[in-house]
Structure 1
Amino acid sequence: MNGTSSSHRPLPSVISPVRISSRPADLAAIGPLLTEAQAAVGDVPALLDLAKTAAATAPKPCEGRTAFLWEILASVTAVDVAAGRVLEPHLDAAAILGQAAALPAMDGRDYPDFDGIHFDGAWGVFAAEAPGLRLEAKATDGCFLLHGAKPWCSLAAQLDHAVLTAHVEGGGRAAFAVDLHADGVSFADPAWTSRGLREIRSGTVHFDAVPAVPLGGPGWYYQRPGFAWGGMGVAACWLGGTVAVARNFTASLQRAADAGREPDQIALAHVGEIDRTLAALTGYLAQTAARIDAGELCDGGAWREALRVRGSVATAAERIQTLVSQNLGPAPLAFDEAYGKRMADLALYIRQHHAMRDDAQLGSLTLGSDSQW
């Protein structure tokens, strides 16, 4: 996947960041990261190193530079969707650990107790559930031990640590930090046959009495506003992949025009639709990031806003993929490896959005509160 086929056109020497609201001078700081991301395409260890490097300087949500955080995520994903898929959970884990460390004392002890957890490794976030699989955390002799299985653990065998959710005694789920190199951790063969995100293999991890550090109490992981902020960070990645698809499209039309084949009215109309869609999305994300930094989305309303952001970006991504695919036809899907990879990667990534089910959840929240419209 590191090779370059004869059908590839050379990438520009300067890879443009995806702008949401930052000044050009600030966006220029992302440039070296994007160059490293391009060099690491298809190389998972290199992408994990990239994530660790980015985490050292990337802002966390609600610290005054949320838009810049999202620009980092979007820009890296515009270079390569899989690169963004590696970066996002590592940065999210760093944010979760920071939020947990700021919690007050609970149940007579401080949460969390980070003794033995090393932060210089690569992190993932595993919160998915699946029928027939259950991960439980049991309090034993003053600590928690994990028992059971966790599905959809992307790159687990190549990570050092993870933030994950587990069922706890008394009901509900809580978050824990776990060392993935600990005794009792085993990785099932994911049998990953996907054509999208082929290098981001996701499978089941088994835990047999594995020590874990609690991050807050039952329900904290889902109730904190950071859960919504993290969900919007994923949407920023979707945006970045979509911008890359759109850039590829306009570059193809420009090359054709340079060769004497001007775009027809349908192609121009689709470019116009893509332009206004992306302008509206980036404006919406800029506004939302500013609201997070102003402390306006630090309560139950944060998840409602996350559903809006994620739904808007996912819908736009699917629409823009359709427009571009219809215009460019089968040739790039068949012969342009970079284009085909991006389209397949993005199509799988946005399936983290639950489409009409998420809209139904948003509708329920809308009916139960005052609408902004």
Structure 2
Amino acid sequence: MPAELLSLFPLQPAAETVFPDETATAEEAIVSPVAAAAALAPRLFGQAASSDQPGGFPKEEFQWLRAAGLLTAPLAHKLGGADLMRPAYTLDLLHTLKHIGRGNLAVGRVYEGHANALQLLQRYGRPAQVQQWAANARAGHLFGVWNTEAQDGVWLEPLAGGRYRLHGSKTFGSGAGQLTRPLITGKLPDGGWQMFVLPTDQQPTAIDPSFWQPLGMQATASFRVDLTNAEIGPDDLLGQPGDYYQQPAFSGGAIRFAAVQLGGAEAVFDETRRFLRATGRTDDPYQRMRLGEMAVLIESGNLWLRGAADHAARPEADADATVAYANMVRTAIEEICLKTLLLAERCVGARGLLRPEPFERLHRDLTHYLRQPAPDAALADAGRFVLQQPSPAYSLWKDE
């Protein structure tokens, strides 16, 4: 496995950070999720090809994440986690996601959904619900978010006693068949959009793997899931109708998947460098030029992650500014990843794109994962925001 790119351009000593529990002694301090993810990345990378197949899922890899404490890391300290979703720890969250993506983009995609779900549960759940779902996470249950749907979307039929029967399907249900506590959205009779958590180990669901015939990210198992005839009760409902789309959390979360994507670009960089060394092509001036370009791109992405973290830590930032900044981050990192892929192709040539070299899989996975919804609208929203601001460019995103 090639040396980590992080060692070339260290942004901060994040891998040495610890998250102390306010009620714990120094000896009981919680080890940084960044360090755990960085240590796990080479192992994830080495295993990635085995689950890269139709219907595959990185089951063993998620056991490794559980053992490393990463599945509980998004929980607050008092719930047994590392409080990774606290705004002050945003850079550590992004670095954790990046390292997991560097190891395996499919694992990173599912883990990002797990972290997102735990964040939403802690934000909108009632105290008893949060305690229960945190206990589920500590017991090893995998969470995620299923929101995308087609014409046969999910709706809730009211029953007696505050219960509901579910009807309809979700598409792109990442981790289908593996997630036991997906956070799902559905339509109420009055048109409201309600979140709920479905214990899929207790309720019937029908999975359609034929839906998922992707270019890449095969191992995310993003199948169509039919929830018809499953039932939920009042304790399964999360928050109020419409909470899921509250800003800036909804659009601002784009920085998380951008961090995973940047991890994929780092893997491409590392493998390109390894390939050139192995084939004795490091003295070629054009290869050196391309690697220089790639290094600039990767470090630019890391600086965008730092900017996103700095912005998240600003208590005075308004929702529009946070959404606009997140949209710039996802746009910039998408371009960084696409340019990195192009340069890597030119570096390794046709020979490097043959299996068992990892470029073919990395290229498919990263290209597919970059196709996040509404990229043009995201960039236009950032433009709308800056056009409305009276501040000069140097102070658009911070007060000086």
TM-score normalised per structure 2? 0.78
Distance 2:117 2:166 in 1: 19
In the TM superposition, what whole-angstrom CA distance separates every residue of 1:218-268 from its partner, at most 9, and x where no partner exists?
221111433234321110000100111112223333344xx3761223x33
What residue number does 2:63 align with? 49
Alignment of 1:332-343 (within 5 A): 332-343=352-363
RCO comparison, higher one (Cα < 8 Å, 6+): 1
Please tell me whether the aligned partners of residues 51 and 91 of structure 1 are also in contact (alpha carbons under 8 angstroms): no
What residue number does 2:297 align with? 277
Please tell me whether the aligned partners of residues 160 and 180 of structure 1 are also in contact (alpha carbons under 8 angstroms): yes
What residue number does 2:283 align with? 262
What residue number does 2:112 align with? 88
Please tell me whether the aligned partners of residues 84 and 92 of structure 2 are also in contact (alpha carbons under 8 angstroms): no
Distance 1:22 1:352 in 2: 31
Please tell me whether the aligned partners of residues 78 and 243 of structure 1 are also in contact (alpha carbons under 8 angstroms): yes
- Comparing 43-52 with 157-166, greater Cα deviation is found at 43-52
- In the alignment of these two chains, the number of paired residues is 352
Secondary structure of 1:179 counterpart: coil
What residue number does 1:217 align with? 240
Q: 1:116 to 1:354 in 2, by over 3 A?
A: closer
Distance 1:177 1:261 in 2: 52
Distance 2:309 2:102 in 1: 19
Please tell me whether the aligned partners of residues 67 and 286 of structure 1 are also in contact (alpha carbons under 8 angstroms): yes
Please tell me whether the aligned partners of residues 62 and 293 of structure 1 are also in contact (alpha carbons under 8 angstroms): no
Alignment of 1:119-134 (within 5 A): 119=137, 120=139, 121-130=141-150, 132-134=151-153
- Structure 2: which amino acid aligns with 1:71? H
- Comparing 305-314 with 20-29, greater Cα deviation is found at 20-29
Q: 1:371 to 1:252 in 2, by over 3 A?
A: farther
What residue number does 2:101 align with? 77
- Structure 2: which amino acid aligns with 1:66? T
Please tell me whether the aligned partners of residues 182 and 210 of structure 1 are also in contact (alpha carbons under 8 angstroms): no
In the TM superposition, what whole-angstrom CA distance separates every residue of 1:145-200 from its partner, at most 9, and x where no partner exists?
32211111122112211011112232242222111223332212334333412222
What residue number does 2:85 align with? 61
CA shift for structure 1 position 111: 7.8
Please tell me whether the aligned partners of residues 145 and 184 of structure 2 are also in contact (alpha carbons under 8 angstroms): yes
Matched, 1:243 2:266: yes
Matched, 1:37 2:15: no
Secondary structure of 2:253 counterpart: helix
CA shift for structure 1 position 296: 4.4
Distance 1:246 1:35 in 2: 14
TM-score normalised per structure 1? 0.83
Please tell me whether the aligned partners of residues 275 and 352 of structure 2 are also in contact (alpha carbons under 8 angstroms): no
What residue number does 1:252 align with? 275
Please tell me whether the aligned partners of residues 144 and 181 of structure 2 are also in contact (alpha carbons under 8 angstroms): yes
In the TM superposition, what whole-angstrom CA distance separates every residue of 1:273-324 from its partner, at most 9, and x where no partner exists?
2222222221121122122133345634322222111111111101110111
- Structure 2: which amino acid aligns with 1:173? W
Identical aligned residues as a percent:
22
- Structure 1: which amino acid aligns with 2:285? D
